[in-house]
Amino acid sequence: MTDTTRFMDSALEEARKAAARGEVPIGAVVVLDGRIVAAAGNRTRELNDITAHAEIEAIRHAAASVGTERLTGADLYVTLEPCTMCAAAISFARIRRLYYGAEDPKGGAVDSGVRFYASPTCHHVPDVYSGLAEREAADILRDFFAGKR
Ligand SMILES: [Zn+2]
Q: What is the pLDDT of residues 19-67, one digit of tens each?
A: 999 999 999 999 999 999 999 999 999 999 999 999 999 999 999 999 9
Instruction: Give the Å distance between the CA of 12 and the centre of ligand 1.
Output: 16
Question: How far, in Å, from the CA of 2 to the mean position of ligand 1?
Answer: 26
Q: Is the confidence at residue 147, as pLDDT, over 90?
A: no
Say how far apart CA 80 and CA 141 lie, in whole Å.
9
Which candidate in 13, 14, 23, 55 is catalytic? 55
Beta carbons of 53 and 83 less than 8 angstroms apart: yes
Dump pLDDT digits (tens) for 66-125.
Answer: 999 999 999 999 999 999 999 999 999 999 999 999 999 999 999 999 999 999 999 999
Q: Which amino acid is at 30?
A: V
Asked whether the predicted pLDDT for residue 148 surpasses 80, the reply is no
Neighbours of 42 (CB within 10 A): 28
Q: Rounded to the nearest whole angstrom, what is the distance from the C-alpha of residue 84 to the centroid of ligand 1?
A: 7
CB atoms within 10 A of CB 23: 21
Residue 149 CA, ligand 1 centroid: distance in Å: 23
Q: Is 57 a catalytic residue?
A: no
What SS3 class is residue 109?
coil
pTM above 0.85, yes or no: yes
> Known binder of ligand: residue 83?
yes
Secondary structure class of 92 (helix, strand, coil) = helix
78: Cβ contacts below 8 Å, ≥ 6 apart: 11, 26, 27, 28, 54, 55, 58, 86, 98, 99, 100, 101
pLDDT band at 3 (very low <50, low <70, confident <90, very high): very high
Closest C-alpha to 14, from 127, 103, 101: 101
Residue 122 labeled ligand binder: no
Phi/psi zone of residue 48: left (φ > 0), alpha (ψ -120 to 50 degrees), beta? left
Q: What angle do CA 82, 79, 13 make, to 5 degrees?
A: 140
User: Known binder of ligand: residue 86?
Assistant: yes
Q: What backbone torsions phi and psi does residue 114 show, to the nearest 5 degrees?
A: -75, -10
Strands (E), 42-87: 75-80
Mean pLDDT of the chain: 96
